[in-house]
Structure 1
Amino acid sequence: MLEVKDLKVYLDTAEGIVKAVDGVSFTIKPGQTVGIVGESGSGKSVLARSLMQLNPSPPTFYPQGEILFEGLNLLELNERKLRSIRGKEIAMIFQDPMSSLNPIFRIGTQLIEAIRTHQKLSRKEAEKRAIELLTDVGIPDPELRMKDYPHQFSGGMRQRVLIAIALACKPKLLIADEPTTALDVTIQAQILELMKSLQEKYGMAIIIITHDLGVVARLTDKIMVMYSGRIVEDGSTNDIFYRTSMPYTWSLLRSLPRLDANRKERLVPIQGQPPNLVSPPNGCNFSPRCPFATAECLDVDPQLTDRENGHQAACVLSQSEFEHRINQLVTAEQKGVVL
């Protein structure tokens, strides 16, 4: 359904050309749920907005690549054609529900507008559809809440409204950019379960973008890990969590709290800062922060290579070498030795 080929998204800034997305390729199948994870600044949101063609131009430009949605290259379409696809075929849930909703219009007005933009319905029919959507996303008393303004909803309820707007025209692809940001853990779980149930009901594909690996663990079939504008590991959810092949992914997982961990065991943060995307380092972009970096890593810029069963990673180390290095490091840490 969606195929991204060698996509590059650059920003022309006063400091220089920022390579926000630098040669990304992937495919999304109908009904599939794909997670894109990585630290802040890794290019996840720029990639998401590129799929909707919502990045401001200038400073954004696309020096290379294709975004093929059902055979149409979105980079070649005019604004009128893009508007017919946005919201109808591809919909998006943005990070901040308060700033994504217009504070001066009632919730019902915003829902009805989204519906009537793409569907030839009367206002009465659109209002009925809006009430059905609010019911689907778990808003109590939807007829009454249609008359409320965004500030009268809690953060979780506003996020539900955004999901309702995104689903208004039954899109084939839903892009959720940090859909659980600033929500407490209980509400996060509710939103994730809601997305899962609505996916089953509407049969859409979902791209969920987050820095929280716990979120994608329970929702996705496939995970792509981004670092400094590139995909550095790509595989099934089980591959990423149980057979990691890239030091950055392993470091991300290691920095998360685990229920099965020893209570005295400390979390290990990733040292250093993400690279400057105007002038990235030579060789592997992760090498300055990588606990397994060698002299080769400073010279070789690794590309995604197959490990097994569609699992890909961008690392000069083979799977066996990588696992051996992990065992060495963990054993040394347990003995209090610094490698």
Structure 2
Amino acid sequence: MTAANVVDVSEWQPTSIDWSNLKANGVKAVVVRIGHGVTRDEHAADHIANATKAGLIVHVYHYYEGVDGELQYSVNNAKSLNIQPNVYYFLDMEGTIAGSWPSIFDSFRNQWSTYGWNTGLYCSLSNYTKFDDATLVKQGVYRWIVAWGSSQPNNADMWQYDSKTGLGSYTSALDKDVDIAGKLVKEPDSTIVEPTDPNGNYMLKSGAFVGFDYSTTELQGGKMLVASPDGQNKIPKLAPTGAFLFNSADGDNMWALIKPKIDTIKGEEGNKGDAGAISDTSTDFNNLTSEGHYDIRISPSTQGKNGPKDGDWGLLDVKVAGRMVVQTYYGDANANVYVRNRRDGSTWTAWRSVTF
């Protein structure tokens, strides 16, 4: 006789279920419906809490209705219920569904897997023919197949064999299942899958690609243009909004092209000082005739009796217009300003103190 080691429940079952009694009757795990369409199952939180308290292993499922925003809702709903990584999350596909069943399931599988949930498919034995079994096996999908009143399906990882009778002290109709592969009746691995670091250094491996897929970084929200160096980590480059997404390596590559085209950048560290000025240890300004800003220390003896007298650092601003060169010196110590000029390489005029 077939004996259930898993049951699945929804808001159709009351929150007063005696989970301890079900456990005593051989049940080791429960699959709780947490949502349908864009609506949370009314008893989801209570069923999860009560079954967990009784020592049962809890997995979850979402009933597909094909409404707008359903995929993202299924993610948000599971996260708000604190569904942990490595828990099995099943998509319940039944009834009349427009479109390609495998494509619909794959969109959920891709998105759910980025959050670390193990993915599963629930459907009838007849509807399972819409899927390619080898593909699901390769993807690691847990195949939960409904076949009431018949023998165990060959391709099932879990078999729902009855929904009309009760179990133990629960005498109402209850979905009963056999976890054939045995993965649902074991405690989920507590290892948390870390999201891909978009600035990580990944080795280029076989399976690398650029194309449209779901991001494995913390940035989520539909398919994006991603770059995958290894076929596993998928780093978004173009969001559905049309925004380009850059990481640190992109910035470094762009800066290498942009930097040579910029003469002086205010605030850049290095030999141009923190004000964008060229640092110069000269004590004579006479040969500084190239336009620019010079962070410079002067010697009064070389500047004439009317020139700058402080020996501190100051800013020399040189302007060139045709044959005219003008030097303006701003002193650090006393904030005095001096100006002089020359034309056609002639002798410099005397420094003139400027008052503002």
TM-score interval, smaller chain: under 0.3
Higher-Rg structure is: 2
Higher percent of residues as strand: 2
Relative contact order higher in (CA < 8 Å, ≥ 6 apart):
1
For normalisation by structure 2, the TM-score amounts to 0.25
